[in-house]
A and B are shown apart, each in its own frame.
Chain A
Amino acid sequence: QSVLTQPPSVSAAPGQKVTISCSGSSSNIGNNYVSWYQQLPGTAPKLLIYDNNKRPSGIPDRFSGSKSGTSATLGITGLQTGDEADYYCGTWDSSLSGGMFGGGTKLTVL
């Protein structure tokens, strides 16, 4: 069981918006930057968001990240069928002196 808690699954219709939450504690999300990844079946994860809310070059602004206290949220607008994937949050834990990922959320675009 992951220290970072994500919903196992979320779903929405094409064109709609969805949010994926990532809940932690003061030793991880509360005091460290959060990143988000998209993993399509059979491929390596792809960085979507880093430093809580920054997008790497090439990531469309349909993807956004935010953090409040010990929780973080990934938002995806204008959903496309190609967005169907597993999504993971990640951060550092200052107490453990180690990194961690959430358990992952499977996004279904209905």
Chain B
Amino acid sequence: QVQLVESGGGLVKPGGSLRLSCAASGFIFSDYYMSWIRQAPGKGLEWVSCTTSGGSNMYYADSVKGRFTISRDNAKNSLYLQMNSLRAEDTAVYYCARHWGSGFAFDIWGQEAMVTVSS
């Protein structure tokens, strides 16, 4: 079935790095834009970054620009988020999500990856 499975979350110290992965299955991964979205504990949704279907264009929220890098490997049906210079405020559940429709919408979400930034 159509699904996204995330991995790579964990506990990291401030200033450290972490790489999230998202494995897609059940659909033609290379046909879709993909995004990372996060949710801090008890807070609302925050869009983090997205990449076009071919991976040639990437966009970032101001809060992560210059620190996070989104990438994809269409041959491996995988999406990645490299997170550097992590801060306490990056602590959140991270979702990868498939874009749907003509605009900003997400129909398939990963099961979540928890990232905790703490000393």
Binding site for B on A (CB under 8 A): 2, 32-35, 37, 39, 44-47, 50-51, 54, 56, 86, 88, 90-92, 96-104
Contacts and interface: CB of A to CB of B under 8 A. Distances in A.
B44 A99 contact: no
Interface stretch (B11-19, B75-83, B99-107): B99-107
A19 to B, nearest CB: 19
Given A98-B47, A98-B59, A33 B112 contact: no
Contacts of B95: 44-45
Contacts, number: 79
A99 B47 contact: yes
Main secondary structure of the interface of A (DSSP, over half): strand
Contacts of A101: 37, 44-47
Interface in B73-119: 95, 100-107, 109-112
Contact of A47 (B35, B37, B107, B112): B107
Closest 3 CB pairs of A and B: A33-B103, A50-B105, A99-B47
13 contacts: A32-B104, A45-B45, A45-B95, A47-B107, A50-B100, A88-B44, A98-B47, A98-B60, A98-B61, A99-B104, A100-B47, A101-B45, A104-B45
